[in-house]
Amino acid sequence: GDSVTQMEGPVTLSEEAFLTINCTYTATGYPSLFWYVQYPGEGLQLLLKATKADDKGSNKGFEATYRKETTSFHLEKGSVQVSDSAVYFCALSEGIGSGYALNFGKGTSLLVTP
């Protein structure tokens, strides 16, 4: 079945460092891809999404590009802040629209130190 694999954490970075969190997927069709973020004690929040190949999702300085040829959707940010410390989840759904179930990776914990 469809699945997502993301790099294991924890990832520890100094403030203003460059961030990459790798995510690859396996899917039979043309999934939509997402990054969600979970801050301590809070629910999941959608960070960005892409619904077709070569789409780039972006939000709050984070970016990810849907790469069909490498089945990847890596999350990047040029300069992280302490407030970015959270757990990041890569996810996919079978199609466009919220009626599809989300299939999540295991999450990558990010800690940004001053």
Partner 1 sequence: DAGVTQSPTHLIKTRGQQVTLRCSPKSGHDTVSWYQQALGQGPQFIFQYYEEEERQRGNFPDRFSGHQFPNYSSELNVNALLLGDSALYLCASSSEYEQYFGPGTRLTVT
State yes or no: cis peptide before 40, omega within 30 of 0. Answer: no
**What separation in angstroms does the CA of 38 have from each of 6, 31, 85?**
15, 22, 9
CB of 16 to partner 1, least distance (A): 28
Contact string (CB under 8 A) for partner 1, positions 81-100, x = contact = --------x-x----xxxx-
**Nearer to partner 1 by C-beta: 10 or 78?**
10
The only residue of 12, 14, 20, 45 in contact with partner 1, by rule CB under 8 A = 45
**Nearer to partner 1 by C-beta: 19 or 103?**
103
**Nearer to partner 1 by C-beta: 11 or 102?**
102
The only residue of 28, 29, 40, 41 in contact with partner 1, by rule CB under 8 A = 41
Residue 101 binding partner 1, by CB under 8 A = yes
Binding residues for partner 1, rule: CB under 8 A, are 4, 36, 41-46, 49, 89, 91, 96-99, 101-107
